[in-house]
Structure 1
Amino acid sequence: MTTGHAGFDRFIEGLDAFVTGGAILPAWSPDGKWLAFLEGTAEERTGRLVDLESGRTEPLVADVAALRKAVRAATGQTPAGTGLPFEHIGFAGPRQLSAMVGSATVTVDLDSGEVAELPTERPIDLHMELADSVRRTPKEFLRTAPLTDPIKARELGSPQGTAFVSTVDGNIVLRSVADNRTARLTTDGTPEHEYRFDLVDPQLTALGMAFPVCNWSPDGSRIAVYRVDNEGVYQAPQVHHLKRGDEVVHRYFAQAGGRLERTTLHVLDVYGGAPVELDLGDTTDTYPVHGAWLPDGAHLVVFVLRRDCRRAEVLLADARTGQTRPLFSEEGETFLRIHHDVYYGKKIGLFRTPDGTRLLWLSERSGWKHLYLYDLEGTLIRWLTDGEWPVDYVHRVDDEYVYFTAHQDQTRPYDVHLARAPLAGGSVERLSEQPGVHAAIFSPNGETFIDTFSTPAEAPRSVLRRADGALICELSTADTSNLEWTPPQQFTATAADGETELWGVQFFPADFDPTKQYPLIEYVYGGPQIAVAPHAFNSHFAKAVHALAQLGYVTFVVDGRGTPERSKAFHDVVTQDWAAGLVPDHAAVVEQLKQRHGYLSEAKVGVVGHSWGGYSAFRLAAERPDVYAAAVSSAPGFDPYSSVLYECYLGFPQTDHDAYRNATPYPLAAQLSAEFLLACGTIDHATWTDSIKMSETLIRAGKDHEFVLLPEQPHGYDAVHDSYFWRKVAAFFRAHLQEGNR
């Protein structure tokens, strides 16, 4: 491995190019007896078969050469490489695998080794979309989502696999698997008054990593949907320049204190019965969400969050009549839910037991996020978890236990452990042992699960456990033999209040020499909805930080006060004061790192961030010129008045004047002395105007800056433009950071 631009270019894609194995994609046999998985590179891919009862493992295929010969004989194709010729596998029967080889689908008998190609469908049937594979495969469609461009999604299949739903021109469309024909279940939808339904990645749901969305009733006869009224909502312009003539598109973009889209909940009958609107009263300035169908298919649990996020109500609705009755509610002095979770992901912290008689509710009423059990009369039965540590999220509920992830070890507060609590009451059992971030994939019957864990410096490892946490066997350990690096280091520092412990991660050049000195660069986010310091291996936010380090810097990420995954008090620092924990905490961490480590240059540091990280980078540089010498703001969300996303934390501009005025960074432009690079996509209707306003403000203040515009790019950049952006960042820091002794 090399440092410099070659190392930067490789690291910007993450560590996948250097590491294989560790994390696995499982295939579970339909009889609940076997687990199969692949690992290794495409050239030398291997596979393992695991007996779920005994933990005995064996090669998935004993004679790979014979298998490849059989595949060639069955399909006429010669797979590349020397290993197993499959990228993905599934079970077609208790001892039979199915896989794709090129365009052919084959089955492999695990006992005899026999390979058979499934009948090839006629090209004309594929073209006419009459082939069975076409009819049974969910199709892509464009769906709308709050504040963003339409996104590609896949149809949602019914529980019985007989139909799919999508949206077309604002209406709900049903497609029959039997004949591939479609029928509109609604006809009054328009772009201004549109219907939507929830979508969660089906792969995550199938793997037990996400709860199923609440759309189809259990018997497949009804669909729970939303009707979104955008009338009067602000529309942000989006200008497309690359065609012969410019095109202007307007995107609905609710502003802080402005008109919010009004959402109502409906139930549609797939057999043609009249649609039913759930009786929620006036839903203006609320976020109503379908929570869960009860097993009878005739009732739904509904969640309604008030616009300021300080009151949530749970109701039971009759899907046949629309009548509702309240179950329980909760109010808080600050936000009860992270706004992004509800607004985008419908992640509402509400779960039902399999028998549908009880509900589990996540609440921070004690000062820590914990689970509470209610009955369908709205009576609190008991606390299921308690203590000075927060639950992360629920991943499975069976008749006896709730299984969840949690930050149980407060000596390492960002470690994520697997745990379970008995619904009947009793002690919480921790199911994972090793330090790090753990994730679970449960088998379909819930009797076993795969525990995959890592730290920033330790690559993933997967083991198989029983539901009680007992270790069955080792599954896979990552191969890091091609990874020549200096591992990242987790660190702690003290917040500006002099008391609170903050956690972060440092990254180093591959050829790091502690006797030399290196400039320091911070990668910052600072938004209130996520913690970004990467405490697992190869996480999303680690890629750019790893890459920048290969240019000869030490880089770091830290989560200051006002971010989640800690106590409610830690998170509430952002309430009414957007930057309360931002500038003082992050600057304090820089100063402590430089005092602590002789390998850090005494020169001022650099900072880079995207989205709210762009806001943070600018504000750090503007308010602490004694600490930060150069800042990069990418797709920066500067204007708190511009978006509804600020309301749960700051309140409303009409009533909370000081909170919004203090959060606005434009007045800081006049005091900026750091070198500054601003970058934004020209069709990023969320932040393009913010960037233009900041550039104009800097110009009028006589402040030189660079403005990198990325044509036809939205809030996230495609590969070509992302590469261009990071080249500009590398050149910017090379020009403006003192490099010290190298």
Structure 2
Amino acid sequence: MIRFRPPPITSLLLLAAVLPPASAQVAPDREAAYQRYLDFGSLIEGGRVNPNWMPDGNSFWYAKGGPQQTVIQRVDPATGVVEELFDTPRLRAALTEALGHEPAGLGVPFRQLAFTGPSSVQFMVEGQTFVLDLDTYVVERQRTPSSLGLVSYLVSEADRVTPRTFIREVFQGLGPRPFPERLSPDGQWFVGLDHHNLTLRATVDGRVVPITDDGTEFEQWDVETTLWNPWSPDSQRLVVARISSHGMPRIPTIKWLKPLEEAEFIPTMLAGGELYDTRLHILDLHTRTPMPVEQDTTADYYYRVLTWLPDGSEVVFARYSRVMDRVDIQAADALTGAVRTLATDVSETFVTHHHDSVWGSRTGFSLLPDASGFILVSERDGWRHLYLYDLDGNLVRQLTEGDFPVEAVVGVDQQGGWVYFTAQTDPERPYDLHLNRVTLDGTDRTQLTEGEGRHNVAMSPSHGYFLDTYSSVDTPPRSVLRRADGELVLTLSEADTGRLEEVGWTPPREVVVKAADGETDLWMTMYLPYDFDPSRRYPVVEYIYGGPQTTTRPMDFGGEPFPGLGSDFARIGNFNRALANLGFVVVIVDGRGTPGRSKAFHDVIVGNWGKPVINDHAAAIRQLIDRFDFLDGDRVAIMGASWGGYYSTRAILQEPDLYKVCISEVPGYDMHAFHLYEPYLGMPQENHEHYEAANVFRMAPGLKGQLLLTGGINDTGTQADLFQMSETLVRAGIQHDMMVYANTGHGAFGQTGEYNMELKKNYLVEHLLNTRVPGVDR
């Protein structure tokens, strides 16, 4: 058994393997570099600019500096002038007088603001709202508009205008979770839920108005507040849903760390099983009675709202078939609920998947500014391209074509006749993302950005300029301002990597190898130790995900913040690059069956979950070992989480002569346990052989190497898979290691996440470096 002294954490540790004897200790400088790299973003200063566009549609402001030294910069693209938006001493003096004391910090005491006029801005300090005149620097505190009774004084102004959270079941198999209320366009109401019923909360006094009272656990009312805006543009209507979950199985989960244990039953969707039923409604704020949308069928379909028309006459939504091989773009009349179909996209395989279209925002739909038509992304010709439709549902033309995938539309300038979109248009570097534009006639496509890497673009509302922040795995981030035709205006920020260089840094490498077919190029990112010495031989650690809905290989410099997710998420995201500093070479590759290339490249996963993916990954690792003398082919590990947990286990079972150590976190092993497999494997009733070929439990008795399984006791998505794999190994008499965390779901975060990273790090150090880990008793 291994006992970790720091950090203390309540957990369950089940270990059934004897660790090898230690021969040396991790060098303190390596451990220090590892720890510093977990906060990789703190080693990079500048390089990224997040623009906030001003009322003229061209100028913008952005915040820079830390909380104590915040500076707000204003940029005028027409003149190229960059200057501070505020006279900071005058601003702080005015606020000191208004507050009765000096505000916190030494710079601007806020990082968010809104223009209320050409020379007036509104912001919040210490929970109070102020308006500042930029000409006179007179500060005025905003008061409650009228006396509405005692409640308006008992509920603070900040609380009345700040979204609260409500609990919502989103049918992802992981249980209900909090969502923010959504503010109406006129600023008068927040919409939310309370115990499966719709509510409105008034911003003027904070009172809550119940709208429905018949919602239950099995027949709930629902409103989406993050993926789309449920409010009509005039704030008079809402699009909501009535969801039935009758017949769906419930998974029990227990919260063990409360004074009294608490049990929950979480609805889940088995492959081929009962699916929740969604019936869209339109809620008129005057009648406050939800009106059903005239859907011809709701069984075995997913529905997702796309947008309201600007005049509020119709709400546009998508209807996806259960196996995602068909999408219908439809519109519902806001007064009658009558539905018409605008477009249909069909494929012999999937046209999209849950992560993009049902759970995410990558729907591929863009309404033209004047609502005369829309643009739809489709892979009907073998690549992701743009198609223009009119609002009657007639296909006007294909806008883009060629051997490259379009990512997304970022702006439509109808007056100028241009569509701006991101796409992977560099044939020499097929994963680099660039801004392009094409005419609405489908001609004159031009790539507007330059420089290797991924370009994150923000288009001005006027479509006259765009801000481009870009980097590659070995080139730090840089932010530049360009005109709409791509002409450079000025460079706003270049990253300072001085702190990174003080710690030590070896640039990551991008390497191209062949897939198992010997023909298809696969791209890899390789992290090297900070003090890399090519004359040494390093063990290899592969990080794998393999899920068909995303790419995993790092393609930019990294270190970017994760707004709303906190530093814990960033530290976990930096684990792979940090791990290399202990004396490993860490590699990540996206094999066939993942997106970002052609439809044929992606479709390799169809009916082939498992073996072909590992064939590609193993072939890639073997080519690396043959190509680079500094890689030790006798010491190779693989690790991954979720579907990466499945594929890492599959790798050590399918390729035991290559992979000697495996760490599988929150692994999803059972194809029948979740509906997410249906777009790739079909319905199990009709495709039993696809599901059986993906079965990794039957391979478990062949385990030869070291395997560590980790998971959360409250992970209703994969907890059964975790225990079933362990039991399969126990019955086969195969020793393995296992860690299960209490009060933890599909992924370990916070203090548990820190402990889990330490556990993984120590496991690899012990088994690949044969090195003693400080603080670990064996």
Q: Report if TM-score (shorter chain) is over 0.5.
A: yes
Q: How does 1:144-155 map to 2 (within 5 A)?
A: 144-146=169-171, 147-155=173-181
Aligned counterpart in structure 2 of residue 279 of structure 1, from 294, 299, 312: 294
CA contact (8 A) 2:127 2:157 kept: no
Instruction: Report the CA distance between 1:343 and its aligned residue.
Output: 2.4
The partner residue of 1:664 within 687, 691, 695 is: 695
Aligned partner letter, 1:507: Y
Partner of 1:478: 495
- Among 13, 21, 29, the alignment partner of 2:46 is 21
1:424 pairs, out of 441, 445, 449, with: 441
Q: Secondary structure at the match of 2:538?
A: coil
CA drift at 1:71: 5.0
Give the counterpart letter for 1:170 in structure 2. Answer: H
The CA deviation string for residues 145-202 of structure 1, in whole angstroms up to 9 with x for no partner, is 122222222111112222121111112212222332232333322121112223337x
What is the CA deviation profile of residues 128-161 of structure 1, one whole-angstrom value per residue up to 9, with x for unaligned ones? 5544433222222222212222222211111222
**SS of the residue 1:17 aligns to:** helix
Gaps of 5+ in 2: 1-26, 561-569, 772-778
1:584 Cα shift? 0.7
How far residue 275 of structure 1 moved from its aligned partner, in angstroms, is 2.4
The one of 162, 167, 192 equivalent to 2:188 is 162
Alignment partner of 1:559 is 2:590: yes
Identify if the C-alpha distance between structure 1 residues 514 and 348 changes in structure 2 by more than 3 Å, giving closer, same or farther: same
Equivalent of 1:517, from 519, 527, 537?
537
| Whole-Å separation in 2 of the counterparts to 1:89 and 1:24 | 16
Decide whether aligned partners of structure 1 residues 60 and 304 sit closer, same or farther in structure 2, where only a CA change above 3 A counts: same
Instruction: Please give the per-residue CA displacement for 1:251-306, whole angstroms capped at 9, x wherever unaligned.
Output: 11101000011111111111115422122212111112223222331222231111
SS state of the match for residue 692, structure 1? helix
Q: Give 1:649's aligned residue.
A: 680
TM-score (norm 1): 0.92
2:65 to 29, 33, 40: 40
Greater relative CO, 1 or 2 (CA 8 Å, sep 6+): 2
1:180-329 alignment, distance < 5 Å: 180-200=206-226, 213-272=228-287, 274-329=289-344
SS of 1:244's partner is coil
- The residue aligned with 1:697 is 728
Whether 1:405 aligns to 2:422 is yes
* Greater Cα offset, 344-353 or 523-532: 344-353
The aligned residue for residue 492 of structure 1 is 512
**Which shifted more, 715-724 or 289-298?**
289-298
Which of 118, 125, 130 is the matching residue for 1:94? 118
Contact 1:604 1:626 in 2 (8 A): no
Deviations 1:90-124 (Å, cap 9, x if unpaired)?
A: 44543445555555656665556x473636889x9
Q: How many residues are matched?
A: 725
1:353 to 368, 392, 398: 368
Paired with 2:360 and 2:112, the residues of 1 have a C-alpha distance of 28
Change (3 A) 1:604 1:2: closer
Could you tell me how far apart the structure 1 residues matched to 2:522 and 2:154 are? 56
- After the TM superposition, which residues 579-594 of structure 1 pair with which residues of structure 2 at under 5 Å, given as runs? 579-594=610-625
1:213-245 alpha-carbon deviations (Å, 9 max, x no partner): 252122221111122110001111111111233
For the residue of structure 2 that corresponds to 1:582, the secondary structure is helix
**How far 1:475 sits from its partner (Å)?**
1.4
Higher mean displacement: 545-554 or 465-474: 465-474
2 CA distance for matches of 1:26 and 1:641?
45
Is 1:714 paired with 2:714?
no
* Distance (whole Å) between structure 1 residues aligned to residue 394 and residue 142 of structure 2: 57
| Amino acid in the other structure paired with 2:175 | D
State the Cα deviation string for residues 563-594 of structure 1 (Å, max 9, x = none): 00110000000001112431111111111111
Task: After superposing the two structures, state which structure 1 stretch, 384-393 or 580-589, moved more.
Answer: 580-589
Aligned to 1:460, what secondary structure does the other structure show? strand
Deviation of 1:427 (Å)? 2.1
Q: Does 1:735 align with 2:766?
A: yes
C-alpha distance in 1, partners of 2:303/2:495? 43
Asked if 1 retains the 8 angstrom alpha-carbon contact of 2:73 and 2:84, the reply is yes
Please identify, of 161-170 and 86-95, the stretch whose mean Cα deviation from structure 2 is larger: 86-95
Superposed counterparts of 1:316-395, under 5 Å = 316-345=331-360, 347-395=362-410
Give 2:47's aligned amino acid: G
The corresponding residue for 2:17 is none
Task: Find out whether 1:639 has 2:639 as its counterpart.
Answer: no
Determine the C-alpha separation between the residues in 2 that align with 1:292 and 1:103.
33
Is 2:318–2:328's contact at 8 Å kept on the other side of the alignment?
yes
Amino acid aligned to 1:447: G
Give the counterpart of 1:466 among 480, 483, 488.
Answer: 483
> 2-side partners of 1:302 and 1:665: how far apart?
38
Matches of 1:440 and 1:356, distance apart in 2: 24
8 Å contact from structure 1 (residues 573, 580) kept in 2: no
For residues 510-532 of structure 1, what are the alpha-carbon distances to aligned partners after superposition, in whole Å with 9 as ceiling and x for unaligned? 12122222111011100010001
1:537 is aligned to: 557
2:69 maps to 1:54: no
Amino acid at match of 1:513: D
* CA distance in 2: counterparts of 1:67 and 1:181, whole angstroms: 34
Segments of 5+ residues of structure 1 without an aligned counterpart are 202-212
Q: Indicate how the Cα distance of structure 1 residues 630 and 126 shifts in structure 2: closer, same or farther if over 3 A, else same.
A: farther
Which letter maps to 1:600? L
- Deviation (angstroms), 1:457: 1.7
Contact 2:633 2:658 in 1 (8 A): no
Residues 317 and 96 of structure 1: CA distance in aligned 2, closer, same or farther (over 3 Å): closer
2:428 aligns to what SS in structure 1?
coil
Judge which range, 45-54 or 633-642, deviates more.
Answer: 45-54
* Aligned CA distance change for structure 1 residues 318 and 101 (closer, same or farther; 3 Å): closer
Tell me if structure 1 keeps the 8 A contact 2:459–2:465.
yes
Distance 1:129 1:334, change over 3 A: farther
What is the identity percentage for the equivalent residue pairs of Structure 1 and Structure 2? 39
Residues 86/607 of structure 1: CA separation in 2 closer, same or farther (3 Å cut): same
Distance in 2 between the 1:18 and 1:664 partners? 43
Q: 1:23-42, CA deviations, whole angstroms, 9 ceiling, x for partnerless residues?
A: 12333333446322222334
Structure 2 CA distance for partners of 1:83 and 1:296, relative to 1, 3 Å? closer
Q: Which amino acid in 2 is paired with 1:502?
A: L
Aligned with 1:325: secondary structure? strand
What are the Cα deviations for residues 533-585 of structure 1, in whole angstroms up to 9, with x where unaligned?
Answer: 01012166851211211221110111000000110000000001112431111
Letter in 1 for 2:378: S
2:141 paired residue number:
118
Query: Aligned with 1:515: secondary structure?
Result: coil
Cα RMSD (Å): 2.5
Contact 1:129 1:180 in 2 (8 A): no
Distance in 2, Cα, partners of 1:148 & 1:228 = 17
Assess if the C-alpha contact under 8 Å between 1:104 and 1:120 holds in 2. no
SS of 1:737's partner is helix
In structure 1, the residue matched to 2:18 is none
- Structure 1 216/446 Cα, relative in aligned 2: closer, same or farther at 3 Å? farther
SS in 1 for 2:238: strand
CA distance in structure 2 between the partners assigned to 1:342 and 1:444 by the alignment:
26
Q: Secondary structure at the match of 2:633?
A: coil
Structure 1 position 69, deviation (Å):
5.6
- Select between 130-139 and 416-425 the one with higher mean Cα deviation: 130-139
CA distance 1:66–1:273, shift in 2 (3 Å): closer
Match of 2:755 among 712, 715, 724: 724
Q: CA contact under 8 A between 2:471 and 2:556: conserved in structure 1?
A: yes
